[in-house]
Structure 1
Amino acid sequence: MPKALKVDGEYIEVFEYESKEEMEQEASNVPGNGDVGLATIDYSATPYYFKKGYVIVHYAGDNEQILKQLVNILGKPFAGGAPH
Structure 2
Amino acid sequence: MTLADDIEMVRGHVSLGRRHIAQQRERVAVLERLELPTDKALELLDLFERMQDLHEVHLSRLLARAEDRKAAKMPPHIC
**TM-score (normalizing by structure 1):** 0.26
Higher helix share: 2
* TM-score (norm: length of structure 2): 0.27
Identify, as 1 or 2, the structure richer in strand. Answer: 1
Higher RCO (CA < 8 A, seq sep 6+): 2
